[in-house]
């Protein structure tokens, strides 16, 4: 496998620096039948026949939960995505990974993967975080009150993985030192003291491997997620059960609301971590502690020093606008609403328009801000 990687080395020019890109050419692996933010069972079902797949449960509305198995190696890796139904980026990357592995079987010499691409198909269909019972599956690891939670736990118990990947999307509000958090990583805690045992250390070294490997591409856009311990979160529960578990959160990349560029970086993160697992070569724990912590510092639009009225009083200050994602005709529409007003000098906007010619407007939380954006030609 390492020989294969060496053959794939190609020289890229990025940020005026010359460096070696160790990844497979992305255009040759991208699953073009999946695109955009709205990914459901109906989107992945036509792809399943290319893989060894089975149905491992049904939701309360009788939608199937699919599992794909690939590889017969000795090291077992469990990966699940869309436990939150509206978080589809890591699912797209999983099918890119599967396409890559299908055409590069030598890569699986030491690996055996069990992949649940959409754990919460009802949430995916309705484009919502929770399942059809309005339960957040990532707060159900102890109670196992929902069928999706039990399906995942059964797969965890029966497959008995050596590593687990908990795959999510995060909102556009997260950033690191003024850059958007395109990826966030976390080796979840297994106790209240957030201590490091060999299991959590191994998960953190996986995160280190990704952080180090993606430095030349998005080094300043990788964050570390809050590691508060919550035993009802699945990652914390699996880490507590002694299986190194890594959380990957796909986030914002400039001008990429469909998250196709982010999807590419998630694919590279999969490649880096699976390569590390297959060859037992991980970066040091010290790199994990170098990953900066995520901060909630971004708005989709930040209007600086503008005039507005709030509750009838005229004001001048900054106004932050945030997109709401709305399912319309089987795709996702982005509708801006007012989110915050005042001194937002410590925050950033993914877009910060010139507002010199903007007239005063009324600020009201939850109100559509599209008229203001129209005025600014946005
Ligand atoms: Zn999530």
* Number of Cα atoms under 13 Å in the Cβ half of residue 97: 28
- Which whole-number Å values give the CA distances from 361 to 163, 302, 304, 308, in the listed order? 52, 15, 14, 5
What is the C-alpha separation between 223 and 363, in angstroms, rounded?
Answer: 32
pLDDT tens digit sequence for 149-177? 999 999 999 999 999 999 999 999 999 99
Residue 16: pLDDT band with limits 50, 70, 90? very low
DSSP string for 127-179: T-SS-TTS--GGG-TTT--SHHHHHHHHHHHHH--SEEEEEEE--TTEEETTE
Distance 117 CA to ligand 1 centre (A): 14
Q: How far is the CA of 81 from the centre of ligand 1 (A)?
A: 9
Segment 16-43 mean pLDDT: 85
Rounded to the nearest angstrom, the distance between the alpha carbon of 85 and the centre of ligand 1 is 8
- 59 pLDDT exceeds 80? yes
The separation between the first and the last C-alpha atoms of the chain, rounded to the nearest angstrom, is 47
Compute the distance from residue 168 Cα to the ligand 1 centre, in Å. 4
Beta-bridge mates of residue 249? 168, 184
Q: Which two tokens stand for residue 13?
A: 């020019």
Other CB atoms within 10 Å distance of the CB of residue 334: 14
Q: What is the pLDDT of residues 296-346, one digit of tens each?
A: 999 999 999 999 999 999 999 999 999 999 999 999 999 999 999 999 999
Please give the distance, rounded to the nearest whole angstrom, from the Cα atom of residue 89 to the centre of ligand 1: 11
Q: What percent of the chain has pLDDT over 90?
A: 91
Q: Which two tokens stand for residue 176?
A: 């690191």
372 alpha-carbon distance from chain centroid: 30
Read off the pLDDT of residues 85-118 as tens digits, 9 standing for 90 and up: 999 999 999 999 999 999 999 999 999 999 999 9
138 C-alpha vs ligand 1 centroid, how far in Å?
Answer: 8
**Residue 256 — pLDDT band, cuts 50, 70, 90?**
very high
Predicted confidence (pLDDT) at residue 8 exceeds the cutoff of 60: no
**What is the 115 CA–ligand 1 centroid distance (Å)?**
17
Q: Which of 16-25, 67-76, 237-246, 256-265 has the lowest mean pLDDT?
A: 16-25
Give start and end residues of each alpha helix (H) in the chain. Answer: 2-8, 41-44, 89-103, 121-126, 147-159, 198-213, 215-218, 234-240, 260-279, 285-290, 370-375
Please give the pLDDT value at position 45: 98
Q: How far apart (Å, rounded) are the C-alpha atoms in residues 218 and 292?
A: 13
**Does the pLDDT at position 371 exceed 60?**
yes
Residue, of 20 and 128, whose pLDDT is higher: 128
- pLDDT tops 50 at residue 192: yes
Spatial separation of the C-alpha atoms in residues 34 and 162, rounded to whole Å: 29
pTM of the model: 0.94
Q: 86 C-alpha vs ligand 1 centroid, how far in Å?
A: 8
pLDDT at 10 (0 to 100): 39
Q: Which fold has domain 297-375?
A: Urease, subunit C; domain 1 (2.30.40)
pLDDT at 22: 78
* 51 vs 67: CA distance, rounded Å: 10
**CA–CA gap between residue 298 and residue 251 (Å, rounded):** 12
Distance 106 CA to ligand 1 centre (A): 32
Do residues 213 and 263 touch, judged by C-beta distance below 8 A? no
At 367 the pLDDT is 87
Phi then psi dihedrals of residue 346, to 5 deg: -85, -5
Q: Which CATH architecture has domain 2-295?
A: 3-Layer(aba) Sandwich (3.40)
β-pairing, 183-186 vs 245-250, is: antiparallel
Cα(127) to ligand 1 centroid in Å equals 12
Domain boundaries of the chain, sorted by first residue: 2-295, 297-375
The band of 193, judged by pLDDT with boundaries at 50, 70 and 90, is very high
């Amino acid at each position: 496998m390492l020989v294969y990687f060496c053959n794939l080395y190609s020289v890229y020019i990025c940020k005026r620096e010359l460096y070696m890109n160790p990844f497979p050419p992305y255009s040759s692996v991208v699953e073009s039948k999946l695109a955009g933010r709205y990914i459901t069972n109906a989107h992945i079902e036509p792809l399943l026949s290319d893989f060894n797949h089975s149905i491992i449960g049904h939701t309360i509305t009788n939608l199937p939960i699919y599992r794909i198995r690939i590889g017969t190696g000795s090291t077992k890796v469990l990966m699940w995505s869309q436990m939150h139904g509206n978080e589809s980026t890591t699912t797209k990357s999983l099918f890119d990974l599967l396409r890559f592995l299908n055409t590069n079987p030598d890569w699986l010499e030491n690996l055996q993967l069990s992949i649940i691409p959409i754990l919460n198909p009802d949430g995916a269909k309705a484009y919502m975080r929770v399942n059809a019972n309005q339960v957040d599956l990532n707060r159900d690891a102890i109670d196992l009150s929902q069928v999706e939670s039990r399906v995942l736990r059964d797969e965890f118990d029966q497959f008995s993985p050596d590593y687990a990947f908990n795959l999510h999307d995060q909102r556009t509000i997260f950033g690191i030192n003024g850059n958007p958090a395109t990826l966030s990583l976390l080796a979840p805690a297994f106790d209240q003291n957030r201590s490091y045992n060999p299991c959590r250390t191994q998960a953190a070294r996986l995160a280190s491997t990704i952080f180090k490997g993606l430095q030349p591409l998005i080094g300043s856009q990788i964050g570390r997620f809050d590691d508060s311990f919550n035993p009802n979160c699945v990652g914390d529960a699996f880490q507590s059960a002694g299986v190194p578990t890594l959380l990957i959160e796909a986030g914002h990349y400039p001008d990429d609301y469909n998250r196709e560029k982010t999807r590419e970086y998630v694919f590279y993160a999969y490649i880096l971590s699976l390569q590390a697992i297959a060859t037992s070569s991980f970066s040091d724990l010290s790199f994990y502690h170098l990953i900066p912590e995520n901060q909630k510092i971004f708005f989709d639009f930040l209007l600086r020093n503008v005039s507005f009225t709030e509750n009838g009083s005229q004001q001048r200050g900054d106004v932050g606008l945030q997109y709401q994602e709305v399912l319309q005709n089987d795709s996702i529409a982005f509708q801006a609403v007012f989110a915050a007003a005042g001194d937002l000098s410590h925050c950033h906007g993914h877009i910060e328009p010139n507002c010199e010619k903007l007239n005063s407007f009324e600020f009201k939380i939850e109100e559509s801000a599209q008229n203001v954006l129209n005025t600014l030609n946005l």
